[in-house]
Amino acid sequence: MEQTPLIETGLPISLFIIMVGMGLTLTTADFVREAKAPRGVILGSLAQLILMPSLGFAVAWGLGLSAAIAVGIVIVAASPGGATSNVITFLARGNVALSITLTAIASLATIVMLPLYVNMALGWQMGTNADVKLPVLETISMLMTIVLIPVGVGMLIRAKAEQLAAKLEKVVNLFGALVLLVLIVLVSYSLRDQILTLIAQSGFACLVLNALGIATGWLAARAANLPLPDAIAISVEIGIKNATIGILVAMTLLQSAEMAMPSVVYGLLMYVFGIGMIYLGRRYIPASPAVAS
Q: What is the pTM of this model?
A: 0.79
pLDDT at 248: 83
Of the candidates 122, 88, 121, 85, the residue with the CA atom closest to the CA atom of residue 105: 85
pLDDT at 4: 53
pLDDT at 107: 84
Percent share of the chain, pLDDT over 70: 89
Region of 225 on the Ramachandran plot (φ > 0 left; ψ -120 to 50 alpha; else beta): left
Give CA–CA dist 152/27, Å, rounded. Answer: 10
pLDDT at 6: 56
Domain ranges of the chain: 5-281
- The CATH number assigned to the domain with range 5-281 reads 1.20.1530.20
Instruction: Give the tens place of pLDDT for each residue, 246-280.
Output: 888 888 888 888 898 899 889 888 888 988 999 99
pLDDT at 211: 96
pLDDT at 242: 85
Give CA–CA dist 172/241, Å, rounded. Answer: 17
Q: What letter does residue 276 receive in the DSSP assignment?
A: H
* DSSP per position, 104-171: HHHHHHHHHHHHHHHHHHHHHHH-TT-S----HHHHHHHHIIIIIHHHHHHHHHHHH-HHHHHHHHHH
pLDDT at 21: 80
Residues 6+ apart with CB under 8 A from 212: 55, 59
Residues of the chain predicted below pLDDT 50: 1-2, 289-293
pLDDT at 292: 40
Of the candidates 172, 190, 174, the residue with the CA atom closest to the CA atom of residue 23: 172
pLDDT at 9: 66
CB neighbours of residue 211 within 10 Å: 14
Long-range contact pairs involving 137-144 (C-beta distance under 8 Å, separation at least 24):
138/253, 139/114, 139/115, 139/249, 139/253, 140/111, 140/112, 140/115, 142/12, 142/253, 143/110, 143/111, 143/114, 143/115, 143/245, 144/111
Q: Phi then psi for 36, rounded to 5 degrees? A: -75, -25
Asked if 80 contacts 138 with a C-beta cutoff of 8 angstroms, the reply is: no
